[in-house]
Chains A and B, each alone.
Chain A
Amino acid sequence: MGLRVLAAMSGGVDSAVAAARIAEAGHDVTGVHLALSANPQSHRTGARGCCTIEDSRDARRAADVIGIPFYIWDMAERFQRDVVEDFVAEYAAGRTPNPCLRCNEKIKFAAVLDRALALGFDAVATGHHAKLVDGVLSRSVDQAKDQSYVLGVLTREQLGHAMFPLGESTKAEVREEAARRGLTVADKPDSHDICFIADGDTRGFLAKRLGSAEGPIVDQSGEVVGSHQGAHGFTVGQRKGLRIDRPAPDGRPRYVLSIEPVSNTVTVGPRSALEVTTITCGAPVWNGPSRRDDLTVQLRAHGEVYPCRFEERAGGLTIELDRPATGVAAGQAAVLYSGATVIGSATIVSAS
């Protein structure tokens, strides 16, 4: 007898194939589309995430083809509170959040999983590109599509009830399989960007939520070199859109080095000043095996991977990189790998 599995179906190709594979493996699968937006838009405009009526219909259509029951769960309130408001609050505090990661942590493998378990399900399956074998999370065979980073924050308990059936396949293989299975979402464009910012204008979204307040842009010596309309519009490592009139003395491009929300100050400087080797993090989540060989850390989604060492201290983690990284932003997750296997993660507090 198979497991009772809830397949979270976004309406995209990955989650449709994931659900189909689990059903084919003999599990008792129920498809659930998560309605995350209180006022869903009727049609998607370009490749912008997963909050439209069309997506819920695509998910239903896929469930019908697979031959599994399908329901829609209204998670709009939780999503608004735990993901959207968190996103805004993090920017207001000068940090750079990753809402997809937060959605996995607080919605898919918390609110949805809890409800699923209460209703008698054994596991929640998603179409994430990552491997999960006996509760151990590791990278997808498709390096370019690997999503183990945005799952690296999950606890052992959460991973224990998760299923990621796509980890051994490339995206191209998933699309081919969808076509073979008669799933009409086979050639639907990939979703990227932030699903709750429909037009992709994150800065405009934040300005609307947080208002604008003029503040100084200073260089490392503290000299004012420009002004901005709100520190929340910036991310560490950002180069474009600074609108500084005066060039740097050495003529080199300048980057955002830090954001200070209380004084509403953005500090800029040369690329070399962005380089960091010591990363200070909050309390770690150890969710993988205890092996410590071939240690690397990933510092943002689809970001570079750095060989490293780490040291645990009271309430936190310090990571020493073997070579410097740039654009390391507070609020992002540092996900630690041994080879391709996730061993744990922690939220970045500062870097130097």
Chain B
Amino acid sequence: MLPEAIEAMTAQLKRVGNASSLHAAGRQVRRVVEESRETIAAALGARPSEVVFTSGGTEADNLAIKGLYWARRPRKRVLISSVEHHAALDPAHWLAESQGAEVELLEVDEHGRVHPETLRAAIERDPDDVAMISVMWANNEVGTVQPVHVLAAIAHDHGIPFHTDAVQAVGQLPVSFSGSGADALTLTGHKIGGPMGAGALLLARGLTPVSVQHGGGQERDVRSGTLDAPAIAGLAAAVSTAVREQEALERRLVALRDELIRRVRDAVPDVVLNGDPVDRLPGNAHFSFPGCEGDALLMLLDAKGVECSTGSACSAGVAQPSHVLLAMGADAAAARGSLRFTLGHTSTREDVDRLIEVLPAAVERARRAGLG
């Protein structure tokens, strides 16, 4: 966590009081919560009343997708990109399975981008029946940045609410809620050096999703539950710091990432870079290593002190071919042979040196072990 977030959070942990109470202690806590709300709003181009605190990205995505679907019934169509995080994809699938929704996965190109024409064509098949649209700001696996403001404008041509999961984007890219045109935007603390279990849904005024959880009526009556003031204070400090330092971080990470990509290509000539070559998250480098199993490569690199990630795993922990890569047209073998290197504010040139030092032998070995 960022020192600013730790400080803000620990200071608040020592205070008692419920932000919804009327007594003095409650008022003091409420002040912290409201100042946090204002800080986040200012950092992300939103109004304070548009900040709805949640327990993180998954809850914010669920609230936006389920809540807007329910609020817009009897409309049935939910348009969502095929490369969303499971936190957005799974609520949509659930709506289809048990709530009568018709979910349409928007196709992406080989870089993982949703083309504006794809969205327009999907809407125009039956615009009056579209309940909501959700397309992430930037992809968590391959790093591709979506043309969110263009997509949001198309949604608004038809008066349809547009949600974007910006969990990956905040702190890495310039993010303005009002500038994007989105009606709802998800962010979370732990991706920006804030606490885990704290996030928010930025929610345009006048838009009232049906609550997922009911109770005391906090947060515009769309997200009941006692506010976690220490976590909220930590979240606000992290958002504020991350946004303030975003431009410098982006500049540094883009240079480091491009060096990493160039040197990985030199070391392993047949490697394939996945995701948009230009419009990608500054800290993301995602590759397919032909003939290797991603998990084997991950294990070998981890043993040499290089930490990276493969895609997702099923609930038993068995690696699954990434739905993102499959949607981009990769075959199952390429999807299984992929690996993501993520650079953040602690990453250095020495980390890249270390990777390049151990990568060729690891790839060689993983190839010998084959695809299992």
Please list the residues of chain A having a beta carbon within 8 angstroms of any beta carbon in chain B. Answer: 30, 33, 35, 40, 42, 52-53, 56, 60, 69, 71-74, 76, 115, 118-120
Contact = CB atoms under 8 A, between A and B. Distances in A.
Contacts of B303: 30, 69
Given A69-B303, A119-B300, A56 B365 contact: no
Given A118-B365, A118-B369, A72 B299 contact: no
Given A71-B299, A120-B300, A53 B370 contact: no
B366 interface: yes
B345 to A, nearest CB: 26
A53 B368 contact: no
Given A72-B319, A119-B299, 20 more contacts: A33-B317, A35-B316, A52-B316, A53-B316, A56-B316, A69-B302, A72-B313, A72-B318, A73-B295, A74-B319, A74-B372, A76-B318, A115-B370, A115-B372, A118-B365, A118-B370, A119-B296, A119-B365, A119-B369, A120-B365
Interface residues of B, number: 18
B317 A69 contact: no
A40 B369 CA distance: 25
24 contacts: A30-B299, A30-B303, A35-B316, A52-B316, A53-B317, A60-B317, A69-B299, A69-B303, A71-B295, A71-B299, A72-B313, A72-B316, A72-B317, A72-B318, A73-B295, A76-B318, A115-B369, A115-B370, A118-B365, A118-B370, A119-B299, A119-B300, A119-B365, A120-B365
A22 to B, nearest CB: 16
A57 to B, nearest CB: 8
B315 interface: yes
B319 to A, nearest CB: 6
Contacts of A42: 315
Interface centre among B300, B315, B369, B372 (most CB of A within 10 A): B372
Contacts of A74: 318-319, 372
A119 B293 CA distance: 11
Interface of B: 295-296, 299-300, 302-303, 313, 315-319, 365-366, 368-370, 372
B258 to A, nearest CB: 30
Contacts of B313: 72
Contacts of A73: 295, 372
Contacts of B318: 35, 72, 74, 76
A118 B367 CA distance: 9
A74 B315 CA distance: 13
A276 B365 CA distance: 52
A117 to B, nearest CB: 9
Contacts of B370: 115, 118
Contacts of A30: 299, 303
Contact of B317 (A35, A118, A120): A35
A5 to B, nearest CB: 12
A72 B299 CA distance: 11
A215 B300 CA distance: 56
Nearest to B372: A115
Closest 10 CB pairs of A and B: A118-B369, A72-B317, A40-B316, A53-B316, A35-B318, A74-B318, A118-B368, A119-B369, A56-B316, A56-B317
B301 to A, nearest CB: 11
A66 to B, nearest CB: 16
Contacts of B295: 71, 73
A30 B299 CA distance: 9
A72 B319 CA distance: 8
Contacts of A119: 296, 299-300, 365-366, 369
A2 to B, nearest CB: 14
Nearest to A70: B317
Contacts of A118: 365, 368-370
Contacts of A33: 317
Nearest to A38: B318
B121 to A, nearest CB: 37
Contacts of A69: 299, 302-303
Contacts of A35: 316-318
B18 to A, nearest CB: 36
A28 to B, nearest CB: 8
A79 to B, nearest CB: 12
Contacts of A76: 318
Nearest to B302: A69
A322 to B, nearest CB: 47
Q: A60, A69, A118: which has the most chain B beta carbons within 10 Å?
A: A118
A74 B293 CA distance: 11
Contacts of B296: 115, 119
A73 B336 CA distance: 13
Nearest to B369: A118
B364 to A, nearest CB: 10
Contacts of A40: 315-316
Contacts of B317: 33, 35, 53, 56, 60, 72
Contacts of B365: 118-120
